[in-house]
Structure formats: structure tokens, C-alpha cells
């Protein structure tokens, strides 16, 4: 083969390698988000089966996310030490075991125990996924990789109720949860047979110059990344991002129904349209993220438009039929910001601490999802429906400020920190 034809095949090979890795990581990420909504669609069945209140069933979700938050931070260290592949396989296996455990549970406390197992499995995905994407996907395709990653997560959220409820109706809630376990282990099998594509050594050690002397020990400190201000700015960004997403998922459709007399049938459609349009926005966002220099501006425009839609829902005279359309516009705008949002963290991450940084930063998601219902749930209980939508817009505005703050403090030297 001539040198010119060899050169022409290299981009095609690189594309296939990138596409394969992105697809495998996205498939695993879909199972993670699927597992986050495993129990919620089955609450009516679980309530009768265990004679539990909705508050007690909601506590199972709290257990899940609190465990996931703790594990997400710790698993980043394991990813950097062991490499992402074994940690990913362990996480998927735990999600499968937890689903089968839910299906076999005979008491509420058995469900709580397996919620801990599920939360532990869920906690590994962001450090694993972003370590694989950042270190194995070529730079020109990284924005598209983040886009696919976000889309598969949204599809996982959409798949959970679409799969669990029909199976529960046709057979039983135990059959539905067992089918979720089958799905998790089927995906694990796919990843196992393609395990060579997920191969990645442990994070490289930082290179030390001969003149650094005593500074070498400090630079090799595994906790040194915590002194980088941009890491904590990213943590705060994802905390507020999770708050805004939690509001949309739990309260905003009902608040809009109360303000604009939306039929109940359309309320359920609002969230579905939001998630589908968000996935569409992520496709466009992947192209916009191809230029890392503009990621803060993309985040600002995306969440700025989303905040405007939230304020329109709060103060505008909107026909009921237009409310789902506005939720779609808000989801598309927020989705555009998704890949650039992930790129903010990538640009703030030392090469030798990818897993640890993503573990800490993305734990902000779990904390935000745990706190947001406490704040906005009180507003809903007091009939402050307009306040819920105003609060959503405020949180989205905070996200814009947070993104530019990340740029301002990015890569502050460790010695200065």
C-alpha cells in the first residue's frame, strides 16, 4: 500500500475507534441514568406491597443519591489508581445485582439495603466515563463525545418509565425490576466482549524536574488537585445545574399547570418533551463545543435562553397548549450548553487527576438533587407556583455566572493555591 493511501486510511481508523469508544461509554451511561429512575415509576405498586408512605419511598431515592455522592468522590481515586475499566465493570455489576435484589425484596428495609448497593454502583460512572473520553477520544471529536454522553443519559431517564410501567402492568413490579437487572448485565456483557476498546492504564504520574527537590512530594500529593480553585468552581456549577434539573423534573410542570390551567394529560408530556428536546440541543451543542475557546459563551447563551423561557412561564399569559412547546424550547436551550458544560471541567482538570476531579465535581450533581426538593418542595406546598419558576430562572442565571467564574480562576497554579 502506498504511503498516500495509508495516510488516507488513518483518519477512518481513528474515527471508528473514537465512535466505538463513545458508543460503549454512552451505553453504560444510559444504564446509570436508567437506574436512577428505577424505583420512582413503580411507587404505586411498592406503596401497596410494603405498606409504605410516599415519604418512605422517597427516602429510598435519598439513600440512593447520598450513597452515590459519597462513592462518586471516592471512585475517582480508584479510577486514577486502577484505570477506569475494572471500576466500570464493578459499577454495572452492582446495578444489576441491586435490580435483582429489589425484585426479590420482602421488606422495606431490604429495599433500602439494595438502594445502597445501587447508589454505590451508580457513583462510579462520571469519573470512569470522562476519564475514558478525555484520554482516548481525539480532540476534534471531544465535543461530540460529550454530546452523545449527555444524550444517552437523557435516553436512560426516558427509558426507565417507558420500560418499567408496561412490564409492571403486564406482569408485576417484581418482573419489571428483574428485567432491569437483565438489562444491566446484558450491557455488561457487551462491554466485556469489547473490553479491549475500554483498556486504559492508570493515570500518568506527574513529571518532575530535577531542580524541584522537596516540591516533588507536594506535587505528587493525591489531594493536591483540591487546592485548584477551578475544581471547586466546577463543583458549584454542577450543584446549581442539578438544582435546576431537579426543579424541571419534579415541580416545574405542575407549577405551570397551576398557573396556566394545563390539562393533566399535557403535564406529563412537558417533561418528556423537555428531555427529548434537550437531547436534540446536545447534538447542536456538540458542534459548538468543537471550539473550546467559546465554551463559556455557549453555556451563557444556552442557560440565558432557558431562563428567559422560565420567566415567560412565570409571568406571561401563555395558552395551555403552548406550555409543552415552551418546555421543549427550554430543554433545547439547556441541551445546547451540555457539551460545553463538560468541556469546562476538562479544561480545568490536570492530566494526572482526571478521575479524582470528575469524582469531586460531579458529586455536586447528587448534592444538588438532594437539596433542591427541600427548597422548591416548600414553595409548592405553600402554593408559590410562580416562585418555583422564578427560582428556576434564578438558578439558571447563577449557572451563567458560575461558568465565567470557572474561566476566571482556571488552572490556578498549585503553589499559588
Do 20-197 and 228-409 come out as alike in CATH topology? yes
Residue 413, classed as helix, strand or coil, is: coil
Angle at 283 between CA 281 and CA 286, to 5 degrees: 110
Class of the 228-409 domain?
mainly alpha
Q: Which residues of 47-82 are buried (b: 16+ CB within 10 A; e: fewer)?
A: eebbebeeeebbbbbebbbbbbbebbbbbbbbbbeb
Class of the 20-197 domain?
mainly alpha
Q: Report the distance separating Cα 215 and Cα 225, nearest Å.
A: 15
Which has the closest alpha carbon to 279: 271, 268, 290?
A: 271
Which has the closest alpha carbon to 142: 344, 332, 311, 316?
A: 344
Q: Report the distance separating Cα 34 and Cα 37, nearest Å.
A: 6
Digitized pLDDT (tens) for each residue of the chain, 417 residues in all? 444 444 445 466 677 888 888 899 999 999 999 998 888 778 788 888 999 877 787 788 888 888 988 888 788 778 878 888 899 999 999 999 999 999 999 999 999 999 999 999 998 888 888 888 888 888 778 777 888 888 888 888 778 877 888 899 899 999 999 999 999 999 999 999 998 888 876 555 555 444 444 344 344 566 666 666 777 777 888 889 888 888 887 788 888 988 998 887 677 678 778 888 888 888 888 788 777 677 788 888 999 999 999 999 999 999 999 999 999 999 999 988 887 877 777 666 665 556 677 777 777 877 887 777 778 877 887 888 899 999 999 999 998 888 777 666 554 444 344
Angle at 384 between CA 380 and CA 386, to 5 degrees: 115
Domain boundaries, the chain: 20-197, 228-409
Which has the closest alpha carbon to 184: 109, 102, 280?
A: 102
Instruction: Output the pTM of the full model.
Output: 0.71
Number of CB atoms found within 10 A of residue 222's CB: 12
Amino acid at each position: 500500500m502506498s504511503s498516500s493511501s495509508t495516510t488516507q486510511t488513518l483518519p477512518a481508523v481513528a474515527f471508528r475507534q473514537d465512535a466505538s469508544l463513545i458508543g460503549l461509554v454512552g451505553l453504560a451511561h444510559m444504564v446509570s441514568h436508567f437506574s436512577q429512575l428505577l424505583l420512582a415509576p413503580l411507587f404505586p405498586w411498592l406503596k401497596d406491597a410494603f405498606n409504605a408512605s410516599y415519604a418512605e419511598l422517597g427516602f429510598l431515592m435519598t439513600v440512593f443519591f447520598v450513597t452515590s455522592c459519597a462513592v462518586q468522590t471516592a471512585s475517582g481515586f480508584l479510577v486514577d489508581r486502577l484505570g477506569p475499566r475494572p471500576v466500570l465493570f464493578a459499577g454495572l455489576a452492582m446495578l444489576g445485582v441491586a435490580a435483582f435484589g429489589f425484585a426479590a425484596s420482602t421488606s422495606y428495609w431490604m429495599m433500602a439495603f439494595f438502594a445502597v448497593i445501587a447508589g454505590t454502583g451508580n457513583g462510579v460512572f462520571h469519573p470512569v466515563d470522562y476519564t475514558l473520553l478525555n484520554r482516548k477520544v481525539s480532540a476534534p471529536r471531544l465535543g461530540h463525545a460529550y454530546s452523545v454522553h449527555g444524550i444517552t443519559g437523557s435516553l436512560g431517564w426516558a427509558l426507565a418509565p417507558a420500560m418499567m410501567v408496561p412490564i409492571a402492568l403486564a406482569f408485576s413490579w417484581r418482573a419489571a425490576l428483574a428485567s432491569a437487572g437483565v438489562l444491566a448485565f446484558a450491557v455488561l456483557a457487551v462491554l466485556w466482549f469489547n473490553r479491549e476498546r475500554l483498556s486504559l492504564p492508570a493515570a500518568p504520574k506527574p513529571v518532575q524536574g530535577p531542580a524541584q527537590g522537596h516540591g516533588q512530594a507536594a506535587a505528587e500529593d493525591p489531594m493536591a488537585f483540591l487546592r485548584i480553585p477551578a475544581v471547586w468552581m466546577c463543583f458549584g456549577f454542577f450543584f446549581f445545574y442539578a438544582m435546576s434539573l431537579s426543579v424541571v423534573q419534579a415541580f416545574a410542570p405542575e407549577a405551570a399547570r397551576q398557573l396556566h390551567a394545563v390539562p393533566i394529560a399535557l403535564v406529563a408530556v412537558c417533561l418528556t418533551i423537555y428531555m427529548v428536546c434537550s437531547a436534540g440541543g446536545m447534538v447542536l451543542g456538540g458542534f459548538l463545543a468543537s471550539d473550546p475557546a467559546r465554551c463559556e459563551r455557549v453555556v451563557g447563551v444556552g442557560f440565558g435562553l432557558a431562563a428567559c423561557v422560565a420567566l415567560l412561564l412565570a409571568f406571561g399569559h401563555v395558552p395551555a397548549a403552548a406550555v409543552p412547546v415552551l418546555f421543549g424550547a427550554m430543554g433545547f436551550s439547556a441541551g445546547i450548553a451540555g457539551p460545553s458544560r463538560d468541556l469546562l471541567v476538562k479544561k480545568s482538570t490536570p492530566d494526572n487527576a482526571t478521575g479524582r476531579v470528575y469524582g469531586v465535581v460531579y458529586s455536586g450533581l447528587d448534592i444538588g438533587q438532594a437539596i433542591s426538593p427541600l427548597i422548591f418542595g416548600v414553595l409548592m406546598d405553600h402554593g408559590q407556583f410562580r416562585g418555583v419558576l422564578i427560582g428556576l430562572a434564578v438558578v439558571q442565571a447563577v449557572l451563567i455566572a458560575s461558568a465565567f467564574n470557572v474561566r476566571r480562576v482556571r488552572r490556578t497554579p498549585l503553589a499559588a493555591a
